[in-house]
Amino acid sequence: MTHRPVPSVAAPTAEHHREPFGIGESSPRLSWKTAAPPGWTQHAYQIEIARPEGTHRAPWTTSEASVLVDWPDRPLASREPARVRLRVRGADGAASDWSPALHLETGLLEPTDWTAQAISPQRGSVERRDAERRPPLLRKDFQAGAEVERARLYVTAHGLYEIEINGRRVGDHTLAPGWTSYHHRLRYQTHDVTEHLRVGDNAIGAWLADGWYRGRLGFGGGHADLYGDRVALLAQLEILHRDGTVTVIGTDSSWRAGRGPILSSGLLDGETYDARQERSGWSSPGFDDGDWAAVDVVTRDPATLVAPTGPPVRCTEEIAPVLVTALDGDRLLVDFGQNLVGRVRVTVSGPAGHTVVIRHAEVLQDGELCVRPLRDAISTDRYVLRGGGPETWEPRFTLHGFRYAEITGWRGGDPRRDIVARVHHTDMARTGWFECSNEQVNRLHQNVVWSLRGNFVDLPTDCPQRDERLGWTGDIQIFAPTAAFLYDCHGMLASWLRDVAMEQHADGTVPWYVPEIPGGEQWTPARPGAGWGDVVALTPWDLYRASGDAGLLAAQYACARRWVDLVTELADESGLWNRGYQLGDWLDPFAPPEDPGAGRTDRHLIATAYYAWSLRHVAWTAGVLGREDERRRYEVLADRVRQAFVAEYARPGGLMSSDTQTAYAVALQFDLLPDAATRAAAGRRLADLVATGGHTIQTGFIGTPLVAPALSATGHDDSAYALLLQQECPSWLYALKHDATTVWERWDSMLPDGTVNPGEMTSFNHYALGAVAQWLHTTVAGLDASAPGYREVVFRPRPGGGISWASAAHESPYGRVAIRWELGRTELTVRTTVPTGATGRIEWPDGGVTFLPTGTTSTRRHHLGSDPDTTH
Ligand code: RAM
């Protein structure tokens, strides 16, 4: 008996949500993945949406689309749950079974849904002195008169919050509501709190802290009160009773404010907690808050409240110490074996009033924490014991970047059990993997993943440890393609890009970092900088390539245009952007340590190249958006700038005016050279430079992600591999000699003699230079998207460097894309997977091409240097 080839569909997803609960889209786009026999293609789909008032089964839609398909029903209302499932059919007309259902629910979509009012402790109550910044507690008792059918909490804060209901914590988010451009957009979160409530007496309580809203941020001592000088809570608890009645408990003037056990808390400074000052039962009913203070109602425009588009920050992993050493002065030195971002949880027993102090650092020097690279980030947590038994504590409202902790006054049991590093970051789904036969390269790749994790903490930051931790535009511009391969960061970055658009200056200038805060003379006021400002034109496109989300392009298009239009004004008549302040090839290893912008590549060569490349991207974007006139206009401009670039910076014979690796890499990768012969000559010169440089790195932020791809694109894979495998400083693998577990900011953040680079900027956790990982994915393993969303996949393995096998996999919008190759003596064996809905091709090193039908996994052997001989 033969089975009919029936496809099966997984539960759909909505927008880029990992947990579509409390979403802000009233007509969320839907995506699904189908498992089907090889060659099967979707001819039609049917979506069914079950809503409280009935089930709507949309008619069959004839379409191959399965990624971000339009919502087929009336828009959802606020607070509306829906169950969405679908089925598909192929050419033979046979329909799949219904998929499992996606459960989604909207949040509060209209400003008028908000009846709660933001509240803050009365001045002078919790904070008794002017300068005091003591995190308060807020609470309220309330009644639930009838059985609870369901309850939702919509909540946000000026500052950071954690909620408890009846003594139990709500949710597991860290540092909620996160950092957005608070003046424009403040995120709220939605929690299902049905299980927290009971009929009769209930209580709700909130911890509040300064966070980004009011805490000290930024370098050079930083600034406090950047968004306001009062923390506030905005919470709306909506209870639907079984009898159909609704109770709403919103923050208002009836709440009470009190002093809690947190004495101080800052993102940079760390947290001090005195357990003796805990108020037992404070978030449960019946607590006597008679000595608590009244609250003031403060202003928060509900029109600025937005639902999250990405996952929250939460603890994703716990790491036990690998080494604990006793130091003099009642101190323990704890090595977690991994540079990470999070906090230490301790379990201690000791007398009331005893204080345990936890300091953090990424590296050691002379056997002690080296905290100088933290600059003005104090990163110290203090716990004062309650006494009388084991007490477990982890700070609530701070994060640190560290591998080592020094614990003074340790009074615990076995440190390997009672001291734990908890890793916190945006809880994105992992989507990309890479491995090869070279263990060092694998370690480098893991370090890139760890730097991504440490710096994707609600927004993409430059570094997680020192007094900076800002949403630097250049860093993510460089790293976005790598990030989008490794993790599903689309929801998170879409939110951040919204903020970039909101904070773009009226003249089109893109801030150096977003959210923008005062940055001293060098950064404030912001000036238009190539490579940094270009994030607005390049990053939406990079994300679109990975996700197929043209909606993001539409949302960011005006912002991108304003940027290139500004640069057009700044450029000279010929199209050269040859004026103004530029960071150039930031951190070129030849730049003096104290002047990282003084690299060897002409800054205006880089600026003009980026200008042309952004124009090209704006033109492509206009094309996708169907704006033909604009597409043509920006194409013409891009061509003109390319000509100006060539006239000014290219020399006969494929040479560049700056004879540097970065200049060639930029010219090649941004497609600025006039013809194939010039490209080939430029590629040769680049390979020469790499060879004469002894295969060490000679590029900074701008050149580093481009140099290996430029070598590969011009037939110099060997040279790219030699760069990759170099171990002497500067190189990618050099850091491994110093036991690096994350990517460093500087090639020599640790100097060859093992001392920490004396420079002002010495982070050990910066993802920017890790952007080489995308070359590992696309070229070493050989997996890339050749159409948006990996609808077409190109496998382009380029074995080299003595690596005998490599593999990569990516969970694409259509499903798993994967490759594994193995090099034999005379043949290359390649196993590939192309999901249903996508097609692929292998581009063999000798130029041969093999086409791969949709939904296939196959193994092919290719005789090196001869025609492909295909076996399945
Ligand atoms: C440093 C940041 C960042 C870089 C800027 C120019 O302070 O850490 O990585 O983009 O400078």
Q: Could you give the 3-state DSSP secondary structure of residue 526?
A: coil
Q: What residue's CA is closest to ligand 1, atom 7? A: 761
pLDDT-based confidence at residue 132 (cuts at 50, 70, 90): confident
Q: Is 582 exposed, middle or buried (0-12, 13-18, 19+ CB in 10 A)?
A: buried
Measured CA to CA, the distance from residue 475 to residue 529 in angstroms comes to 13
Ligand 1 pocket test: pick from 374, 462, 594, 744 the residue with the most ligand atoms within 8 Å of its Cβ.
462
Q: Is 324 exposed, middle or buried (0-12, 13-18, 19+ CB in 10 A)?
A: middle
Backbone torsions φ then ψ of 516, nearest 5 degrees: -85, 130
Instruction: Pick the catalytic residue from 162, 745, 811, 822.
Output: 745
- Span 490-518, pLDDT tens digits: 999 999 999 999 999 999 999 999 999 99
Whether residues 352 and 377 fall in one domain: yes
Residue 468 annotated in active site:
yes
% of the chain beyond a pLDDT of 90: 97
Q: What residue's CA is closest to ligand 1, atom 3? A: 462
Q: How far away, in angstroms, is 583 Cα from ligand 1 center?
A: 10
Amino acid present at 407: I
Ligand 1 pocket test: pick from 588, 606, 701, 761 the residue with the most ligand atoms within 8 Å of its Cβ.
761
Q: How far away, in angstroms, is 274 Cα from ligand 1 center?
A: 36
% of the chain beyond a pLDDT of 70: 99
Q: How far away, in angstroms, is 497 Cα from ligand 1 center?
A: 18
Q: How far away, in angstroms, is 484 Cα from ligand 1 center?
A: 21
Whether residues 793 and 814 fall in one domain: yes
Per the structure, the complete domain to which residue 453 belongs is given by: 432-781
Q: Is residue 17 part of a domain?
A: yes
Q: Is residue 1 part of a domain?
A: no
**Least confident residue range of 186-195, 496-505, 590-599:** 590-599
Q: Is residue 3 part of a domain?
A: no
Whether residues 693 and 734 fall in one domain: yes
Whether residues 666 and 681 fall in one domain: yes
- Of ligand 1's atoms, which has the minimum distance to the CA of residue 745? 9
Q: Could you give the 3-state DSSP secondary structure of residue 496?
A: helix
Query: Which alpha helices (DSSP H) does 161-238 contain, by range?
Result: 211-214
Helices H / strands E in the chain, number of each: 16, 49
Whether residues 565 and 681 fall in one domain: yes
Backbone torsions φ then ψ of 208, nearest 5 degrees: -130, 150
Amino acid present at 332: L
Backbone torsions φ then ψ of 676, nearest 5 degrees: -65, -40
834 close to 786: Cβ distance less than 8 angstroms: no
Residue 356, token pair as written in the block:
């345990």
Q: How far away, in angstroms, is 625 Cα from ligand 1 center?
A: 33
pLDDT at 1 over 80: no
Q: Is residue 2 part of a domain?
A: no
Residue with tokens 């912008």: 597
Whether residues 271 and 324 fall in one domain: no
- Span 13-50, pLDDT tens digits: 999 999 999 999 999 999 999 999 999 999 999 999 99
Whether residues 646 and 523 fall in one domain: yes
pLDDT at 871 over 70: no
Write down the pTM of the prediction: 0.97
Residue 745 annotated in active site:
yes
Residues contacting ligand 1 via CB (< 6 Å): 462-463, 468, 472, 474-475, 583, 586, 761, 766, 768
Whether residues 507 and 645 fall in one domain: yes
Q: Could you give the 3-state DSSP secondary structure of residue 615?
A: helix
Specify the CATH number for the domain of residue 374. 2.60.120.260
Q: Could you give the 3-state DSSP secondary structure of residue 614?
A: helix
pLDDT at 2 over 70: no
Q: Which of 270, 292, 310 is the last residue of a domain?
A: 310
If DSSP states are collapsed to H, E and C, what string results for 617-644? HHHHHHHHCCCHHHHHHHHHHHHHHHHH
- Of ligand 1's atoms, which has the minimum distance to the CA of residue 463? 8
Whether residues 72 and 120 fall in one domain: no
Instruction: Pick the catalytic residue from 48, 127, 435, 468.
Output: 468
488 close to 792: Cβ distance less than 8 angstroms: no
Q: What residue's CA is closest to ligand 1, atom 5? A: 472
pLDDT, mean of residues 425-443: 98
E strand or H helix that includes residue 669? helix 661-669
- Of ligand 1's atoms, which has the minimum distance to the CA of residue 586? 6
E strand or H helix that includes residue 56? strand 54-57
- Of ligand 1's atoms, which has the minimum distance to the CA of residue 701? 10
Measured CA to CA, the distance from residue 838 to residue 65 in angstroms comes to 11
Residue with tokens 């991994």: 338
Measured CA to CA, the distance from residue 790 to residue 757 in angstroms comes to 41
Q: How far away, in angstroms, is 26 Cα from ligand 1 center?
A: 38
Measured CA to CA, the distance from residue 374 to residue 222 in angstroms comes to 13
* pLDDT score recorded for residue 747: 96
Specify the CATH number for the domain of residue 17. 2.60.40.10
Whether residues 747 and 617 fall in one domain: yes
pLDDT, mean of residues 46-69: 97
Whether residues 99 and 196 fall in one domain: no
How many domains, the chain?
A: 5
Ligand 1 pocket test: pick from 467, 477, 586, 587 the residue with the most ligand atoms within 8 Å of its Cβ.
586
Could you give the strand order of the β-sheet that contains 839-843, starting from the edge strand earlier in sequence?
Answer: 783-787, 792-795, 839-843, 849-852
Q: How far away, in angstroms, is 266 Cα from ligand 1 center?
A: 22
- Span 523-557, pLDDT tens digits: 999 999 999 999 999 999 999 999 999 999 999 99
Q: Is residue 56 part of a domain?
A: yes
pLDDT-based confidence at residue 5 (cuts at 50, 70, 90): low
Number of Cβ within 10 Å of residue 51's Cβ equals 16
Specify the CATH number for the domain of residue 801. 2.60.420.10
Measured CA to CA, the distance from residue 476 to residue 455 in angstroms comes to 10
Q: Is residue 569 part of a domain?
A: yes
pLDDT at 870 over 50: no
- Span 143-180, pLDDT tens digits: 999 999 999 999 999 999 999 999 999 999 999 999 99
CB neighbours of 224 closer than 8 A, spacing ≥ 6? 133, 210, 214, 215, 216, 217
Q: Which of 277, 310, 343 is the last residue of a domain?
A: 310
Q: Is residue 610 part of a domain?
A: yes
Rounded to the nearest angstrom, the gap between the alpha carbon of residue 596 and the centroid of all alpha carbons in its chain is: 25
pLDDT at 872 over 70: no
Q: What residue's CA is closest to ligand 1, atom 2? A: 462
Residue 186, token pair as written in the block:
């403040």
pLDDT, mean of residues 601-630: 98
- Span 677-717, pLDDT tens digits: 999 999 999 999 999 999 999 999 999 999 999 999 999 99
pLDDT at 4 over 80: no
* pLDDT score recorded for residue 531: 98
Q: Which of 310, 331, 355 is the last residue of a domain?
A: 310
Residue 752, token pair as written in the block:
């060859």
- Of ligand 1's atoms, which has the minimum distance to the CA of residue 761? 7
Q: How far away, in angstroms, is 66 Cα from ligand 1 center?
A: 39
Q: Is residue 490 part of a domain?
A: yes
Q: Could you give the 3-state DSSP secondary structure of residue 645?
A: helix
| DSSP symbol at 511 | P
Q: Report the mean per-residue pLDDT for the chain.
A: 96
Measured CA to CA, the distance from residue 409 to residue 385 in angstroms comes to 11
β strands within 763-838, DSSP E? 783-787, 792-795, 805-812, 815-823, 827-834
Ligand 1 pocket test: pick from 376, 475, 513, 535 the residue with the most ligand atoms within 8 Å of its Cβ.
475
Backbone torsions φ then ψ of 806, nearest 5 degrees: -155, 155
Whether residues 306 and 319 fall in one domain: no
pLDDT, mean of residues 387-409: 97
Measured CA to CA, the distance from residue 590 to residue 670 in angstroms comes to 23
Q: Could you give the 3-state DSSP secondary structure of residue 310?
A: coil
pLDDT at 801 over 60: yes
Q: What is the dihedral of CA 33, 38, 40, 41, to 10 degrees?
A: 60
Residues belonging to the chain: 872
- Of ligand 1's atoms, which has the minimum distance to the CA of residue 473? 10
- Span 268-317, pLDDT tens digits: 999 999 999 999 999 999 999 999 999 999 999 999 999 999 999 999 99
pLDDT at 867 over 80: no
Q: How far away, in angstroms, is 474 Cα from ligand 1 center?
A: 8
Q: How far away, in angstroms, is 461 Cα from ligand 1 center?
A: 9
- Span 556-585, pLDDT tens digits: 999 999 999 999 999 999 999 999 999 999
pLDDT-based confidence at residue 868 (cuts at 50, 70, 90): very low
- Of ligand 1's atoms, which has the minimum distance to the CA of residue 474? 10
pLDDT at 834 over 60: yes
Q: How far away, in angstroms, is 762 Cα from ligand 1 center?
A: 10
* pLDDT score recorded for residue 412: 87
Measured CA to CA, the distance from residue 81 to residue 76 in angstroms comes to 8
